[in-house]
């Protein structure tokens, strides 16, 4: 089986993107996803995005993390898939409306060429919680931005041993059974933060996380930041999170780069 794909990234959060409007992949595609995302033997990516048909909207987004498991949402993935769809003629006037497991969203190209995602309503972060892990106590706030996050303020995000602390917090009993993404955050200014994320399903630190940027910005708002909040990612790119207060939470937009790296064809061995 031949699988045409595009390799894309949103702020160095990278994806294998497949036009699946005419379904042809095996179901479930978990094993294929793992092979595609393998950074030694495959294309290499944090996850796989499938562009699928929707009876009412421009398309539907389906996302699998690198471990093969289906995930409810991916912020940078949604922005990349929006650009992929726009470049295939979907939508109108530079805008697409699409279905995700976190709800219906829309995205557009900004004047600067970035992709702005209108995520929609996000419930307020939970109150601060203390968790014991790695022989210390971590204080953070739970935020559900399409997927669960636990956001922890630290003095210097550069000094955090993410590979050590991240797995323990990601699987903490507090978040059982599904676990949570873990974001370590340092405030750099009134409305600017630096973020590093240990991502559930990738089981490693990612260079950026779109839903994590949303969670981090809303955490910063609880600490006094005003919109828009600039989020400096581990890869060096900046994601901008805008939000407006509303009933039951904040209406959120996420803006940043979404770029094509290359295209190719994956030859899937028969019987794999």
**What's this model's pTM, rounded to 2 decimal places?**
0.96
Q: Give how far the C-alpha of residue 225 lies from the chain's centroid of Cα atoms, to the nearest Å.
A: 22
CA–CA dist 87, 78 (Å, integer): 14
- What pLDDT was estimated at residue 13? 98
CA–CA dist 270, 272 (Å, integer): 6
Q: Is the peptide bond before 19 cis (omega within 30 degrees of 0)?
A: no
| pLDDT surpassing 80 at residue 272 | no
Q: Select which of 37, 74, 80, 108 is catalytic.
A: 74
> In sequence order, what are the beta bridge partners of 131?
138
What is the DSSP track for 187-220? Answer: EEETTEEEEEEEETTTTEEES--HHHHHHHHHHH
Q: Select which of 37, 80, 108, 209 is catalytic.
A: 209
Percentage of the chain modeled with pLDDT above 70: 99
* CATH 3.10.310.10-classified regions of the chain: 2-114+258-267, 122-256
pLDDT tens digits, residue range 95-106?
A: 999 999 999 999
pLDDT tens digits, residue range 4-25?
A: 999 999 999 999 999 999 999 9
270: pLDDT confidence band, cut at 50, 70 and 90? confident
187: pLDDT confidence band, cut at 50, 70 and 90? very high
- Which residues 6+ apart lie within 8 Å of 29 measured at CB? 48, 64, 68
pLDDT tens digits, residue range 89-131?
A: 999 999 999 999 999 999 999 999 999 999 999 999 999 999 9
Mean pLDDT, to the nearest integer, of 244-272?
92
Residue 32, number of CB atoms within 10 A of its CB: 22
| pLDDT surpassing 70 at residue 271 | no
Q: Give the pairing of strands 181-189 and 148-153.
A: parallel
| pLDDT surpassing 80 at residue 174 | yes
- What pLDDT was estimated at residue 58? 98
Q: Does the annotation count 209 as an active-site position?
A: yes
End-to-end CA distance of the chain: 10
CA–CA dist 221, 227 (Å, integer): 8
Topology of domain 2-114+258-267, CATH: Diaminopimelate Epimerase; Chain A, domain 1 (3.10.310)
Could you tell me which CATH number the domain at 122-256 has? 3.10.310.10
| pLDDT surpassing 90 at residue 39 | yes
246: pLDDT confidence band, cut at 50, 70 and 90? confident
Q: At what angle do helices 75-86 and 210-222 cross, to 10 degrees?
A: 130
Could you tell me the sign of the dihedral formed by the alpha carbons of 118, 119, 124, 128, in that order? negative
């Amino acid at each position: 089986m031949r699988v045409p794909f595009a390799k894309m990234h949103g702020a160095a959060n990278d994806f294998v993107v497949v036009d699946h409007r005419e379904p042809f992949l095996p179901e479930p595609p978990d094993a294929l996803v793992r092979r595609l995302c393998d950074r030694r033997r495959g294309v290499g990516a944090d996850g796989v995005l499938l562009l699928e048909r929707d009876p009412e909207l421009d398309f539907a987004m389906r996302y699998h993390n690198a471990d093969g498991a289906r995930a409810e949402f991916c912020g940078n993935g949604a922005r990349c898939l929006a650009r992929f769809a726009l470049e295939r003629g979907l939508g109108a006037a530079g805008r697409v409306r699409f279905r995700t497991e976190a709800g219906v969203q829309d995205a557009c190209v900004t004047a600067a060429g970035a992709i702005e995602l209108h995520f929609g309503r996000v419930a307020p972060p939970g109150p601060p919680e203390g968790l014991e892990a790695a022989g210390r106590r971590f204080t953070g706030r739970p935020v559900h931005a399409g997927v669960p996050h636990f956001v922890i303020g630290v003095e210097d995000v550069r000094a955090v041993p993410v590979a050590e602390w991240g797995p323990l917090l990601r699987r903490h009993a507090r978040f059982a059974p599904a676990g949570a993404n873990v974001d370590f955050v340092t405030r750099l200014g009134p409305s600017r933060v630096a973020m590093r994320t240990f991502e559930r399903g990738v089981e490693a630190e990612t260079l950026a996380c779109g839903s994590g940027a949303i969670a981090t910005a809303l955490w910063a708002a609880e600490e006094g930041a005003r919109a828009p909040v600039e989020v400096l990612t581990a890869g060096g790119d900046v994601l901008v999170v805008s939000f407006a207060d509303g009933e039951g939470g904040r209406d959120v937009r996420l803006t940043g780069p979404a770029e094509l790296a290359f295209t190719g064809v994956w030859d899937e061995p028969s019987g794999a």
